[in-house]
Amino acid sequence: MTLSLRMPERWIVRVDGTEYGPVDLETLLEWKREGRLLASNEVRGDGETEWGSATTLPGLFGPPPLPQSAVSGDQSRGHRRTLAEIFSESFRIYRSAFVPFIVVTLLVSLPTLVFELTSPAYGIFPRGTSGFTPANVTALLSFTTLVMAWPVFLAAIQIASLEVLEGRRVRLSELLRRAVNYFPRFARLSLIVYGSYFLWTAIPVLAILSLVSASPGIPAMALALILLAVQVMMVARLFANFLFWQQSAIVSNLEGAAAIRESKTLARSQRRARKIERPLWRGALLASFWLLLVLGLSSGAEVPFIWSKVQNISTPEQMLTMLQTINTPPAADLMLIAGAIVASLVHTLLRPMFGIAFVLLYFDARADFSDRELEKLQQESTLQGDRSG
């Protein structure tokens, strides 16, 4: 069903049988940015009777334009950035909205830290025998908070990055409100993405361990190695498919399978001759660099606190005694707690840079496609996603 050729000035939206409006196109664009209007929603002009898809409205669900900072010279599309430019611009975006980025990151960093501190090694909570001990209750509450805050955090990083790229000031209250509106979409996508990683990581590992422990002969070891190789290949394929799923959900406003389909197409693009310049390889380099940086800085930050425990150890017996003390400390271990807090602070400071860099990498990947190709890709992803749903 297509809409009338005469473009109305006001529109009515129907979602699950409930009608909203009439509103003008600017309001529809705002609803789209907030995640309240999806490409699959029905719309009709005020005074008309026929309903059509929101994708039929010109200028509403076409390929989103590249931010002005991504446009070079007289080019109508974004230019290709070097990795050095991605790093430098990521830092510029981060610095421009430092407080909002930090606040939304604390939404996940704080419950993660609290969950970690419930471990017996820190000695904060006394070890209970069973049941609802303070440690168990605190761990459950912090984990639940983390799960609920994670989709909001992911959406907020994308939205804030786009706001800075488009030259707008990032207001924390508005950022959180818009990110919360995207919660259902990111929650569903998170189930698909992280659930896929779990299936192809935990289950093969359990199978490998069962094979090796049950019959550690040559056939079992060979089968375990085959399973390990399959697992590595599948995780690598998942990484490629999910490279831009967060950006596709926000920038292209795609749902579920449609977002993953666009992500896969952009990530696996081979329109650049050198592999190192292709999106997939750049994404792998960015992820590897960020992981090494986080591990190096967080480990380095914890060294002064751990060093005080090991500097006087000279015999294996003393080392064994120290390990036993760590597992069952008689009281709260202030040095270990301080080390965990410092490491968490390092993660909090670095995590937004990783998300911002992938927003820029997403636009860099889009620069290889014309506006017409992007529009066709988005329409195909939406239609196939609707069929699969």
Cα 219 to chain centroid distance, Å, stands at: 40
**Structure token pair of residue 3:** 């809409």
Give pLDDT, residue 76: 34
Give pLDDT, residue 353: 94
Where are the strands (E) in 1-76, listed by range? Answer: 10-15, 18-24, 42-45, 52-53
**pLDDT tens-place string over residues 62-102:** 555 555 444 443 333 356 788 888 999 999 999 999 999 99
- The mean pLDDT value of the chain amounts to 81
Band of residue 27 on the pLDDT scale cut at 50, 70, 90: confident
Distance CA(305)–CA(358), nearest Å, equals 33
pLDDT reading at 292 higher than 80:
yes
pLDDT reading at 275 higher than 90:
no
Give pLDDT, residue 77: 39
**pLDDT tens-place string over residues 191-231:** 999 999 998 888 888 877 777 776 667 777 888 888 888 88
Distance CA(316)–CA(150), nearest Å, equals 43
Distance CA(2)–CA(207), nearest Å, equals 52
Band of residue 304 on the pLDDT scale cut at 50, 70, 90: low
Rounded mean pLDDT of 331-356? 88
CB 80 within 8 A of CB 367: yes
Q: Model-level pTM?
A: 0.76
**pLDDT tens-place string over residues 228-272:** 888 888 888 999 999 999 999 888 888 888 889 999 999 998 888
Strand 52-53 and strand 42-45: the pairing is antiparallel
